């Protein structure tokens, strides 16, 4: 079993380049099914989730070659999705919309839940039903079939990112106009729409809560460079706030109004945004803060666990309110073993303590694992983080990037 071994207490200095966005690339890979022309995605992050998505594309006879520059080509041939791959990657649910658009039917093994929550797809299914898709839910799978190929109107009761992406994947090749209301407004959605439009899709309103899709008869190939990964970018900003020091992040995925910047300034950090970089100088006196996660533009749930680590290192008590995933707090039990003081009640948690000491801790999920990495970098003494494979899902070689900033971290087998 692999592990991260970290000697904490080193401040971070220097510069680091952000990867391209995992959560923008994954729907784009599903979108490659919508055309037989060549799709080229540049600067793809070399992470496990992208590898699994490429394997899923090959199930439909698409060749997805290349690591950083991924080229997808070949005819999309109807096939059954393997349940073992779908169980590993929840984004496999995006093949619902893509397969319905191309083949008119699909049987999807249900991806199931994960450490942060049940991850149902009921909103996807009810939205597709309202567009005339017949949906039969079986034991561990769902079978869908297009009964009428014209557009329509959908209202999402919750702005689900995945459901929004599935509706886009389905409606871009439908006949007529599809009006999508109550949709997600995340930057990754805006980037995904920009990708689909580069293929010839006709979509208005990206980033708003209502989008209008004018169906077209076919989509062409494209070459596209996805947006920077705002969650990885935020993770390195928070890491510097935790350890102290001063770093420059090249290629920012954050916008001026992003709530993370306000929260880090509340903590005492100095932050300057350039046109393609962000500079942060950590504060010696870390002030407490409060945050409440929610659909964009609220605070990103994916950045919550790393902020929990910063809260544990800050003075006083910070308040974290999680409204998106029911089990996002699982990382807190590991932080408590490093000395964090936690008072949790439902989806509220007060976190403080002011300092952390090293320990052997377990990653339970991607962003909780990242929070433990940051805790190890900031703690006094040695920390071992087990199950780094969770972190591999969304971060390219963090041990190399953090070491280049002066951290003492290595990845090695756990004896």
Q: Which positions are annotated as active-site residues?
A: 114
Structure tokens belonging to residue 73: 């080509």
* Residue 170: CB minimum distance to ligand EPZ, A: 14
Instruction: Find the shortest distance in angstroms from Cβ 122 to ligand EPZ.
Output: 5
Work out how close the CB of 165 gets to ligand EPZ at its nearest, in angstroms, rounded to a whole number.
7
Pick between residue 18 and residue 324 the one whose CB is nearest to ligand EPZ: 324
Is 367 a residue that touches ligand EPZ (CB under 6 A)?
A: yes
Walk across the sheet containing 175-181 and list its strands: 150-155, 175-181, 210-214, 202-204
Site for ligand EPZ contains 160 (CB under 6 A): yes
Q: Which two tokens stand for residue 279?
A: 């500079």
In the region spanning residues 139 to 158, those forming contacts with ligand EPZ, defined by CB under 6 A, are 158
Report how far residue 93's alpha carbon sits from residue 86's, in angstroms, rounded to the nearest whole number.
Answer: 8
- For residue 247, CA distances in Å to 188, 254, 282 come to 25, 16, 9
By CB under 6 A, name the one of 28, 131, 142, 161 that touches ligand EPZ. 161
The rounded distance, in Å, linking the Cα atoms of 148 and 142 is 19
Q: How far is the CB of 300 from ligand EPZ (least distance, A)?
A: 6
β partners of residue 181: 155, 210
Sole window of 33-41, 54-62, 121-129, 312-320 interacting with ligand EPZ (rule: CB under 6 A): 121-129
- Answer yes or no whether residue 301 interacts with ligand EPZ by CB under 6 A: yes
Residue 122, interface with ligand EPZ (CB under 6 A)?
yes
**Beta-carbon contacts of residue 375 (< 8 Å; ≥ 6 apart):** 242, 309, 312, 334, 335, 338, 356, 361, 383
**21-40: which residues touch ligand EPZ (CB under 6 A)?**
22-23, 26
Stretch that binds ligand EPZ, among 118-126, 280-288, 378-386, 405-413 (CB under 6 A): 118-126
Task: Pick the closer one to ligand EPZ by CB: 302 or 399.
Answer: 302
Q: What's the rounded Cα separation, in Å, for the pair 47 and 259? A: 26
Strand partners, 63: 73
Residue 292 lies near ligand EPZ (rule: CB under 6 A): no
Give the C-alpha separation, 316 to 343, whole Å: 13
Q: Which stretch binds ligand EPZ (CB under 6 A): 117-125, 167-175, 347-355, 401-409?
A: 117-125
Pairing of strands 290-292, 317-321: parallel
- Contacts with ligand EPZ by CB under 6 A lie at 22-23, 26, 90-91, 117-124, 158, 160-163, 301-302, 324-325, 366-367, 394
């Amino acid at each position: 079993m692999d592990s991260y071994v970290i000697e904490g207490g080193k401040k971070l200095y220097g510069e680091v380049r952000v990867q391209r966005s995992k959560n923008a690339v994954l729907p784009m890979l599903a979108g490659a099914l919508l055309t037989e022309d060549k799709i080229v995605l540049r600067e793809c992050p070399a992470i496990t989730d992208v590898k699994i998505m490429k394997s899923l594309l090959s199930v439909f006879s698409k060749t997805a070659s290349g690591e950083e520059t991924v080229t997808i080509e070949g005819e999309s041939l109807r096939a059954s999705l393997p349940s073992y791959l779908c169980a590993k990657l929840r984004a496999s649910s995006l093949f619902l919309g893509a397969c319905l658009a191309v083949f008119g039917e699909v049987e999807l093994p249900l991806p199931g839940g994960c450490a942060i929550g049940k991850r149902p797809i009921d909103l996807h299914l009810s939205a597709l039903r309202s567009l005339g898709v017949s949906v039969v839910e079986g034991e561990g799978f769902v079978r869908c079939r297009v009964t009428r190929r014209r557009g329509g109107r959908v209202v999402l009761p919750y702005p689900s990112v995945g459901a929004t992406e599935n509706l886009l994947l389905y409606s871009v090749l439908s006949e007529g106009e599809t009006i999508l209301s109550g949709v997600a407004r995340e930057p990754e959605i805006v980037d995904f729409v920009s990708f689909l439009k580069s293929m010839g899709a006709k979509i208005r309103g990206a980033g708003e809560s209502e989008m209008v899709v004018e169906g077209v008869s076919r989509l062409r190939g494209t070459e596209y460079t996805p947006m920077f990964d705002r969650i990885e970018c935020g993770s390195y900003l928070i890491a510097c706030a935790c350890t102290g020091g001063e770093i420059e992040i090249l290629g920012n995925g954050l916008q001026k109004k992003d709530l993370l910047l306000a929260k880090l300034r509340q903590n005492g950090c100095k932050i300057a945004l350039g046109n393609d970089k962000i500079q942060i100088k950590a504060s010696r006196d870390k002030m407490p803060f409060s945050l409440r996660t929610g659909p964009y533009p609220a605070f990103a749930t994916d950045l919550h666990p790393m902020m929990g680590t910063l809260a544990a290192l800050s003075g006083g008590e910070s308040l974290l309110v999680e409204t998106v995933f029911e089990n996002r707090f699982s990382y807190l039990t590991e932080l408590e073993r490093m000395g964090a003081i936690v008072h949790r009640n439902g989806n509220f948690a007060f976190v403080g303590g002011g300092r952390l000491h090293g320990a052997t801790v377990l990653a339970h999920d991607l962003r909780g694992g990242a929070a433990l990495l940051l805790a190890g970098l900031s703690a006094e003494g040695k920390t071992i983080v087990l199950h780094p494979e969770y972190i591999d899902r969304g971060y390219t070689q963090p041990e190399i990037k953090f070491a280049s900033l002066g951290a003492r971290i290595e990845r090695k087998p756990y004896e």
